Structure 1
């Protein structure tokens, strides 16, 4: 589903409160724990058998990927022999990259490395080439639209300060097209892709996106089946800057294999690298699945969504690099827990029960368990132990910061936002767009996920980062807003049928009198505007590049999951096939 640009509506961001009474002395410590402290759910259950409690029905299908199935799988590509083969091929590709002298050839090869999924092996070499291209600024290809657009896209993607003035001289392309004269199709496709790296108020890129979109759609009507038409059709569905990198790599390897001028060495390297990473993901998924089964949540809370594999894919999309193993496993766990707690608030809990659970999370006190019904005891137990696990792992890395206050606050804020939505539901209240987005950007869970994610990444913890995490940093706020809009855009139909609270489109329709089509256009426009803000924020954020990239990837995985509807809650065969190709099915040699 393509998301063409519309007139950008005003977007209001509401700043959340920073951690209260969280001093530096509370956040720093040198304690060493021999093991994480865990609590166990009490088997003392509130006796409400004599009461008839009305609960919303759950229609979620069980997962097709059971733990038994996951544990039964294995991949030959985890064997050392394949790693040795990859090292040899990597050196050959590195030599190829370093031997290229022509500027356009360098740019095109870097583009292929990125799309085919192996550029992370050559970060230093790519940086040296782009530094040289950026510093020279004497390109002989200034009149080549394809070269100029590709150069702009790659430089801006990698954080270089490059102006849109380089496109002014190509306004003749528009005139040539209108006159029916020859237009560079490759150039138009490159310009289309470059336009999605725009900042706010870059009018020339807004115009370029509109014009190139119309041109490429017209080209497809007249041309089908050739190589360029496949690339165009793919780009119109989702531009590169909005695409999940692992899924793009799987798709592009297949496309690249059909090219006449392909490098057989690069193709062999890309396939092998993809399969080796896939074998690593499978072992990580097994680990997460064993944990998930151990929580007994699926067994004892039958109303909740069992979407562990989808949660794992979410985090492969967030950061696919091999050294992010603990991040992917940890974030799969928190996503599964957030989904469970979300279903407690959305589907199963009564308002009185939800108020008790929110209070228990806020107090973070094991004594609060006695006031909760058994199913909530299971949830509290799982969340409490997971936070202890993250904190313990952080201390094991000899970090001097105690993470629990930050993680606890993230859960408290999330549950309070869920409770607000529950109160809206039970009172039949339709919030304004501003009210909905202020709360919805918390209830989407992005801040909770990335607060936990920060402590699970392979980097050193910095106090200045912790301050930003507590104060609701711009980049996380933008990620949360984009995720909320993308989620509502994809899941509104399913949630409308299940009787959930009004989502963004309903709030907008109620407030403005707009039609459903106009409301959805408004949401598409918001996504475009927010992504421009994100492009700009990525250039100036003080967080590490890995943290920035992971935040931006969160939007890309939203587009992956919600591209054809709610692929997370109701995975259809298309989504299941996508997941199979990413984790379970290696690429044939």
Structure 2
């Protein structure tokens, strides 16, 4: 059946909930359905009709659908503003299960949520729904718990490897984040068949995290580094100091930070090389060409990371560079960065619509990576700080099974 015909069929084509749900499901699968289907819900002034607010489920689906917009789709921008404003004020006035869905969506819309985390929360919400299907619910619980057992075994093996490295003693300055690294990779692909990739990539990203901390290490504490590492780090630092001295007179010393970041990219390239071992030659050629979706994911990572890390990271960030170059305030800089992040999500959505630049499974890995970044860096640096929120999320996905 043609996507357009599926989107508008029967007497339900004037039901906001149905139209928005079909629109979202089709876009999730890569169909380039037109957002014009929402025109029927607009008034003569080009605004969404006030009468729609009586349909909470419809507003919720409109909100979720709006997150699949691409650049130039003004009607979806209006839909997001209209629906989010209403849902924020109405969440406490609906039924308990619907209210829970609204609150969850406002914090983590489907497009930006991790699959396993979303599944865990939805199962809990669905369990309280009077219209629930008990057989379907029990199958969902069993499936979640079985896959969780697989992940627990993998994490157990990785933890033993990490402890055998004695990283706490050999690298006392580095963050001990092996669990968070596994959770990060789990967010990219949780499916059981990717167990080898999860194991390998978690090890690579854990070691990359140590190297990242080496680059950020305080020069005054070099004596805490192993001799061979201290020598290497000191040599790199001297080069950067020389660079700063060369450009200091021109007022461009801040540019040296970009050189340091490029050095980090060199190391991170090994991670990318390992990551793409599991795809075809065509996909490999595509991803190494730095396509739009990959660049957009990098923008989300870089800008969100630097914004949450501004207050406690003792290094020059993109925020500092932007403020220095444009004479902008912190508030103005954050506003611009969030604008760029919003645009990056639209670029990701664009790349996931037909004609697809790569296979959908590969594209979804990039989408999932952006989702992990959104989770970890939305309000705070959950990776660096690993606070209570992070621990609760990890426990819900990796530790606590669902009672059947």
The answer as to whether partners of 1:189 and 1:232 remain within 8 angstroms in 2 is yes
2:123–2:141 Cα contact (<8 Å) kept: yes
Distance, in Å, in 2 between the alignment partners of 1:551 and 1:422 is 37
Following superposition, the deviation at residue 175 of structure 1 comes to 5.8
User: Which range is displaced more, 207-216 or 188-197?
Assistant: 207-216
Provide Cα deviations, 1:455-482, integer angstroms capped at 9, x if missing partner: 1x3x5x31x3333344333332222222
Q: What are the within-5 Å matches in structure 2 for residues 476-515 of structure 1?
A: 476-495=294-313, 499-501=314-316, 503-515=317-329
Give the alignment of 1:542-581 within 5 angstroms: 542-581=357-396
2:93 corresponds to 1:279: no
Unaligned 5+ segments in structure 1 are 1-130, 354-371, 380-415
Q: What stretches of structure 2 of length at least 5 have no aligned partner? A: none
Q: Does 1:523 align with 2:337?
A: yes
Residue 511 of structure 1, CA deviation: 2.4
Map of 1:27-426 to 2, 5 A cutoff?
Answer: 136=6, 138-140=8-10, 141-172=12-43, 174=47, 176-177=49-50, 183-220=54-91, 223=93, 226-348=96-218, 373-375=227-229
Task: Measure how far apart 1:547 and its partner are.
Answer: 1.8
Equivalent-residue separation in structure 2 for 1:229 and 1:441 (angstroms): 47
Structure 1 pair 223–482 and aligned structure 2 pair: CA distance change class (3 A)? same
Are the counterparts in 2 of residues 561 and 567 from structure 1 also a CA contact under 8 Å?
yes
Q: What TM-score comes out, normalization by structure 2 length?
A: 0.86
Indicate how the Cα distance of structure 1 residues 310 and 137 shifts in structure 2: closer, same or farther if over 3 A, else same.
closer
Taking a change above 3 Å as real, the CA distance of residues 423 and 317 of structure 1, as seen in their structure-2 partners, is farther
Is the counterpart of residue 450 in structure 1 residue 272 in structure 2? yes
Question: So what's the TM-score if we normalise by structure 1?
Answer: 0.60
Q: Relative to structure 2, which stretch is displaced further, 317-326 or 577-586? A: 577-586
Pick closer, same or farther for the CA change 1:465–1:165 going to 2, 3 Å: same
More helix by share: 2
Number of aligned residue pairs: give it. Answer: 390
- Inter-CA distance 490–315: structure 2 relative to 1 (3 Å threshold): same
Structure number with greater Rg is 1
The structural deviation recorded for 1:509 is: 2.1
> Deviation at 1:349?
6.0
Structure having greater relative contact order (Cα 8 Å, sep ≥ 6)? 1
Secondary structure of residue in 1 paired with 2:142:
helix
Cα shift at 1:518: 2.3
Choose from 520, 526, 532 the match for 2:346. Answer: 532
Query: Contact (CA 8 Å) 1:300, 1:375: kept in 2 or not?
Result: no
Counterparts of 1:534 and 1:444, CA distance in 2: 24
Distance 1:233 1:469, change over 3 A: closer
- RMSD of equivalent CA atoms: 3.4
> What is the alpha-carbon distance in structure 2 between the residues aligned to residue 155 and residue 230 of structure 1?
25
Counterpart position of 1:10: none
Aligned-residue offset at 1:276: 0.7
Mapped partners of 1:562, 1:135: distance in 2: 40
Cα-to-partner distance string for 1:173-215 (whole Å, 9 max, x where unaligned): 94642xx786322111111111110111111111111111222
